[in-house]
Structure 1
């Protein structure tokens, strides 16, 4: 794992299992782009290590709930990497926030992955959920949000933020234990804990899942896919790759395969998870949700006819769907324990 040193601005290679680090969640600027690994590496080479100890302009006692509209890192003499006009302001500010909170290292996807290496990119994508889960804190930077507003207001910039519409930020919201939300001017708006009810409303994700009080395995495959159904990715393959961690799946990334990536994801889900809600859209079963819930007043158990239809395996390959959008209406599908299914079907 390649981390960024918040004191020196240099890269640091380490084992994520033993490292202590903060992590950044953000949306990439569609117009200006983001500073890449190669660009930041070039900047690092222009400054000697021993000059790169930028002082803090102020101190912050709280370790995870802080923010400032002022620049935290100040110029030092002789010039350091922090004075480089080509250095990304977003990366500089993220390093400043992390360092002010006592974190020597931070991971930022846009610059800490060498995307010129297909093997490194594939390894990073398959490891990303685990990296977010292992971070001590995740800073969610919502560049299009204004801090001075009522976040719960139906038309607030928080509710409408682009951050809630991107595919990759789904796992970046769920995986970390501690998420602190920052506005576009780096002011703290709250944490995943304090904003849990609002986040549940905006995303449709059970607050128990958000707060790690409920395991992902307790949520049906179809419901998990519904969380991502209204989100978008720049590359069509990322529609599938961004969900690997949500299903605890590892698979090779093959950019150029297009919609085949989502089919491969579904096939891997079939192999790993004994949950047939995956076939609900393909078999036309989503329309059964209302009568099933209406007829199942006893312990919330689906009607036997519904279960028998969901047991259709021979046409499963034809029942796979080409896109996440097919799961938009599957958020209410629940997991039925195997012993309950067997009892209803009269199996020993």
Structure 2
């Protein structure tokens, strides 16, 4: 490092960096007649007549007056004729200003009264010269003192926007976001376009070679270097009015001016075990949540926020004909800064490749095919036509999703307007990570028909480590439980043994009956042992092992084929990790008594998360078989649908954001709206619609005239109730045709919507919830709120017994 001796004559001396004496350093604007290194080394006295030399003399005199024997000036202490020395000096300059004893900022164009008008505050290089030194003394055009960085702190803050804590030395540069530091440089200029990047290297503590002639690519290189050392995604929070769908951009800005309005953006890290963004030859690889707007357009949520919400940028996928995955480009002029934090609830990290920067040319090279090319292609069609093979990485696994739907009668259409069909249509299918199957039956469809159709689908697609998820409504829900039990105890048949599918169901049924039957006689015990051995042999010979069923979503599980005298609900236990079950409070038909799910009583530490929630409405309301909205009010069926989608997202299933909006299962940002840890409020419009559905949604009662069914249908249902009651009672007497309220177990979770309906409708008094009218009027019924009970999506209550509130809640804790 070369330094000027402040004693006359002014001479250059060279020092190793570890032997540097105390020195002063000059910050100034280059003007005409500056003195170069060559000038200082010459013996020509003419240089002393230059304005630049007189500036050096005055600076050295001031430094010497302050007790400093050496000084540094960028004009003459660097040999700019040597590109190597120039590059080394520019990369070291921030450090040299840091090491200086004092920095003198010479503002040759102002006096104290117009200090803020100095062009010094608009130059790119002077930003690091203001921030790096330990002391900065400002000098006027006549070399009189104007003040220090500390004494002029408020004025400098007003002019530059730099925080007072930084100017006063109370904060470090690393304490400020990348966007904030970029905003400090957004109003500054440099003579050469490349220097706007080079002058910021010290601000971001990066180094890179100087390549004059590269233009704005220098700023792109600067951002690439920043990415290598920082995971601060405020780097991508910038604005550019020139960007549009017709003129897309990469994720990297073209200039610091793009960060003019980004000073308030700060990091907010939310990804769990997320892979950091890295540069690849396909672009910037990122793992972040996407809010799908269309198949090609989305909002990318960045790990940063600005005031009220998260930051997101609009992007669009440009398909590459040589790849199945496209490259994303930025299409939004500005960025969103108000995406609610609740958008992260149920969100997943998508892997995308985004363009670094746009040169204005086409994203992918285009070729023009000539006639000769076409002839050659036809002659070699067998060789030139690529097959659509896709090789997955080691450890890749997918989610297999099976949906069993139930209609009153077999429908000729592909889909019913039921909750199961809506869920199936909302699943995200943009990648191969989720493979879905939908089977539609009716109340007469046997469980094995549902189960074996789903099982064959799983056989066809299953690979080791794949997850299995099941959904079902009515007797389709019963079949889902049976299929989960079958998979747990047998595994999945290998595709090479597909012909043994009928045999596996037969073996499962035999084993299941013996497993549940009481074993008293020696012959029965022996038969049970033989059945167990058959299951074991079948599984080990023909089946692939699984991790069981990950998630089961059930809507009002019944088995219409089952007749019994007991009025209390049946129960089933299946070995699934997470089970969610939406049940109807108001169903009274004895032919549709529910099958409840209870936790398995295993002593091996097997953990289950079972949640059963009771909703207002009948069997058909829960499944959305009768879902006609009344004057714009959402149907009762919509409430359990939103709840189930929310629970499925918590379990790790991915939904298409656009479809969530289409089916009114999300707010305008495509996020499901459960209560979150930060107690973010539910979108008022969304919340209001669900509350209105709770209070005013039509309740379809097949045993009551004028409640959504024709008179003929009601007569038929009443006749069935009389007949079934006659058979089940066994007395030979016809009983009531009114049906029987479902028995709701003690400690059951009752959804908030039930209580909202009770308080809003004086005629809604379900006896299995509130007991007698006198109890309600006497206010003797007490409720205990659980799991953010006043949240309309998943809030619920437990009725307290006369002995006090329940000690244990049946609803499992939500997975993270």
TM-score, with length taken from structure 2: 0.32
Residue 264 of structure 1 and its aligned partner are, at CA, apart by 0.3
Shift in Å, 1:198:
1.2
Find out whether 1:200 has 2:157 as its counterpart.
yes
Q: What's the CA shift for 1:15?
A: 2.5
* Gap change, CA 1:330 and 1:101, over 3 Å in 2: same
Match of 2:3 in 1: 3
Counterpart of 1:274 (choices 219, 227, 231) is 231
> Residue 30 of structure 2 is aligned with which of 28, 39, 49?
28
**Mapped contact 2:47–2:53 kept (Cα < 8 A):** no
- Structure-1 separation of matches of 2:174 and 2:270: 13
Corresponding residue of 2:135: 178
Q: Structure 1, residues 189-218: CA drift from partner, whole Å, max 9, x if none?
A: 111111111111111000111222111111
**Structure 1 position 16, deviation (Å):** 3.4
Contact kept in structure 2, 1:142 and 1:184, CA below 8 Å: yes
SS in 1 for 2:17: coil
Question: In structure 1, what is the equivalent of residue 13 of structure 2?
Answer: 12
- Provide the secondary structure at the position in 1 that maps to 2:267: coil
Partner SS state of residue 27, structure 1: coil
Shift of 1:336: 3.1
Give the deviation of 1:223 after TM superposition: 1.0
CA-CA distance at 1:14 after TM superposition: 0.8
Q: 1:120-152: CA deviations, max 9, x gaps?
A: 0000000000000110000000001114x3xxx
User: CA shift at 1:328, angstroms?
Assistant: 1.1
Q: Offset at 1:327?
A: 1.0
CA positional deviation for 1:228: 0.6
Instruction: Note the C-alpha offset of 1:17.
Output: 4.0
CA–CA separation in structure 1 for the residues paired with 2:97 and 2:215: 26
Distance 2:221 2:6 in 1: 38
Partner of 1:94: 59
2:265 aligned with 1:333, yes or no?
yes
CA distance in 2, matches of 1:267, 1:83: 42
RCO comparison, higher one (Cα < 8 Å, 6+): 1
Superposed displacement of residue 83, structure 1 = 10
SS of the equivalent of 1:245 reads: coil
2:99 counterpart of 1:134: yes
Partner deviation per Cα, 1:167-197 (whole Å, 9 max, x = no partner): 0000000000100000000000111111111
- What are structure 1's unaligned runs of at least 5 residues? 47-80, 150-156, 285-316
Q: Partner residue of 1:85?
A: 49
Q: Distance in 2 between matches of 1:82 and 1:135?
A: 30
1:217 lines up with 2:181 in the alignment: no
- Work out whether residues 233 and 267 of structure 2, in 8 Å CA contact, stay in contact via their aligned partners in 1: no
Q: CA deviation at 1:338?
A: 6.4
Higher-helix-fraction structure: 1
Over residues 61-112 of structure 1, what are the superposed CA-to-partner deviations in whole Å (9 max), with x where a residue is unaligned?
xxxxxxxxxxxxxxxxxxxx79943471101100110111111100001111
| Cα distance between partner residues in 2 of 1:142 and 1:338 | 45
Which residue of 2 is the match for residue 71 of structure 1? none
Q: 1:162 to 1:282 in 2, by over 3 A?
A: closer
Structure 2 counterparts to residues 246-265 of structure 1, below 5 A: 246-265=203-222
> How far apart, CA to CA, are the structure 1 residues paired with 2:67 and 2:49?
25
Q: Secondary structure at the match of 1:319?
A: coil
Structure 1 residues 330 and 250 mapped into 2: Cα distance closer, same or farther (>3 Å)?
Answer: same
Q: Name the SS for the 2:219 alignment partner.
A: helix
Partner of 1:322: 254
Q: Give the structure 2 partner of residue 39 of structure 1.
A: 39
CA contact (8 A) 1:16 1:134 kept: no
Quote the residue 1:103 is aligned against: 68
Counterpart Cα distance in 1 of 2:196 and 2:105: 21
2:48 and 2:235 map into 1 onto residues whose CA distance is: 50
Q: What do the CA deviations read for 1:249-271 (whole angstroms, capped 9, x no partner)?
A: 01001111111100000111111
Q: Give the CA deviation at 1:18.
A: 3.5
Residues 221, 185 of structure 1: CA spacing in aligned structure 2 closer, same or farther, 3 A cutoff? same
Q: 1:244 aligned to 2:176? A: no
Counterpart of 1:53 in structure 2 is: none
| Structure 2 CA distance for partners of 1:232 and 1:179, relative to 1, 3 Å | same
What SS is found at the alignment partner of 2:265?
coil
The separation in 2 between residues aligned to 1:282 and 1:320, in whole angstroms, is 11
- CA distance in 1 between counterparts of 2:195 and 2:124 reads 8
How is 1:49-60 mapped onto 2 (pairs within 5 angstroms)? none
**Contact residue 282 and residue 318 of structure 1 kept, 8 A:** no
1:247 and 1:278 map into 2 onto residues whose CA distance is 11
Sort the Cα spacing of 1:226 and 1:122 in 2 relative to 1 into closer, same or farther, 3 A: same
Cα distance in 2, alignment partners of residues 83 and 121 from structure 1: 22
Q: Do the aligned partners of residues 83 and 283 (structure 1) sit closer, same or farther apart at CA in structure 2, a change above 3 Å counting?
A: closer
CA gap of 1:282–1:272, structure 2 versus 1, over 3 A, is: farther
TM-score scaled by length of structure 1:
0.72
> Tell me, what secondary structure is at the counterpart of 2:188?
coil
| Residue 323 of structure 1, CA deviation | 1.6
Q: Secondary structure of 1:4's match?
A: strand
Task: Name the structure with the higher strand share.
Answer: 2
2:189 pairs with 1:232: yes
Shift of 1:282: 6.0
Contact 1:5 1:105 in 2 (8 A): yes
Aligned mates of 2:270, 2:65 — CA distance in 1: 50
User: Is the 2:240–2:258 Cα contact (8 Å) retained in structure 1?
Assistant: no
| 1:329 CA displacement | 1.0
Report the counterpart of residue 657 of structure 2 in structure 1.
Answer: none
SS at match of 1:181: strand
**Residue 335 of structure 1: CA displacement?**
3.2
* 1:240 CA drift (Å): 0.0
